[in-house]
Amino acid sequence: MRVGLLTGGGDCPGLNAVIRAVSKSLLLRCGAEVIGFEDGFLGLIEGRYRQLDYRAVSGILTRGGTILGTSNKANPFRYFARDGADVSDEVLHRYRDMELDAIVVIGGDGTMTIANGMQKKGMAIVGVPKTIDNDIVGTDRTFGFDTAVTVATEAIDRLHSTAQSHHRVMILETMGRYAGWIALHAGMASGSDVILLPEFPYDIDVVAEVCRKRGQGGQRFTIVAIAEGAKPEGGELAVKKVVVGSPDPIRLGGAGNVLAHALEQRLEGEVRTTILGHVQRGGTPTPFDRVLSTHFGSQAACVVEEGRSGVMVALHDGRMTEIPLTDVAGKVRNVKPNDPHVRAALSVGTSFGVREL
């Protein structure tokens, strides 16, 4: 058996743990040859790869990033180096010429969409859900999410002391794109007074009212956790820049600054914003993410060994399972008003910046 492996999209804590688990499982279970493609689908397009033997993947469990490199622009159906040409047939020929039995694709929603397209063309693909955003359909958790939440929570914890000392409104902006899972979990874990998510456009007057009431009640500070994709009612997303040629060209950023500017016009005290940024994606994965990554990698290897494909491994109700790639491609898992985490936050007085939810 000869199996390919690649990591697509943005970097994420736990990628190396999955590479290790997939490779070691296949090597030990069936003596497979494992080939790692460099820089995601770009390595598959350009024919850049390396052997992943037992020694190559030893000692990488705790390392952040990916030893194979990644790319969030490479797409066989729109190859940027050829003005967006479709090179998927060339990629399929390379796959067959290399006599690969399957490819394990580790990535987020964009990567799974590409994987589903290549599966339909004739590749045998098994997906592994990766993203700090936790927004992939069909799985309760993605690896990397716990690490991002841990970093964001610690950051908000540190802001508390400054907020209390100077009687300020302190805002922390998290990543997450169009899903608010990081802000929701970090906001709950840190006891944030207000949590603002992309799924629930906020009323700035409601947020200002929370800040004023806290001051009147003797709590002269307010902590706000805001996702980068959050926006006011009737307002626009805060776009930092547009990257031409990227599958997802919009780069969000600055939602916290937009909020701060609006609050300063309604409040007497100071309002400060901290944008956490890529710190959430870097560094060593938490123990939870290392364990989850190992489970995902082992499950993916098992699926490959059994000769199955066209699925993404997933965590559902605490158990490893699989979901068809067709059910994942092109979809995003968002926070819903009836989500248990939202209801729990509301029950302890947390505001989501809306009059009613």
Homologous superfamily of 149-281 in CATH?
Answer: Phosphofructokinase domain (3.40.50.460)
CATH, domain range 2-143+285-327: 3.40.50.450
Active site (catalytic) residues:
133
Listed residue (130, 170, 148) closest to 260, CA to CA:
170
Put the strands of the sheet holding 319-324 in their side by side order. Answer: 49-51, 33-37, 2-7, 102-107, 125-129, 311-316, 319-324
Listed residue (326, 297, 325, 327) closest to 311, CA to CA:
325
Cβ neighbours, 10 Å, residue 55? 7
Q: In this predicted structure, what is the pLDDT of residue 80?
A: 85
What is the C-alpha to C-alpha distance for residues 98 and 90, in angstroms, rounded to an integer? 12
Backbone angles phi, psi at 307, to 5 degrees: 80, 20
Mean pLDDT by runs of 10 across the 357 residues of the chain is 94 96 96 96 95 96 94 89 90 96 95 95 96 95 96 95 87 95 98 97 96 88 95 90 74 91 90 92 95 97 96 95 94 95 97 93
- What are the residue ranges spanned by the domains of the chain? 2-143+285-327, 149-281
Put the strands of the sheet holding 169-174 in their side by side order. Answer: 194-196, 222-227, 169-174, 271-275
In the chain the beta strands, taken as DSSP E runs, fall at 2-7, 33-37, 49-51, 102-107, 125-129, 169-174, 194-196, 222-227, 239-242, 250-252, 271-275, 311-316, 319-324
Q: Do 218 and 197 touch, CB atoms closer than 8 A?
A: no
Listed residue (275, 269, 323) closest to 296, CA to CA:
323
149-281 has the same fold as 2-143+285-327: yes
Mind listing the pLDDT tens digit for each residue in 312-326? 999 999 999 999 999
Global pTM reads 0.94
What is the C-alpha to C-alpha distance for residues 221 and 193, in angstroms, rounded to an integer? 9
- Using DSSP, state whether 33 is helix, strand or coil: strand
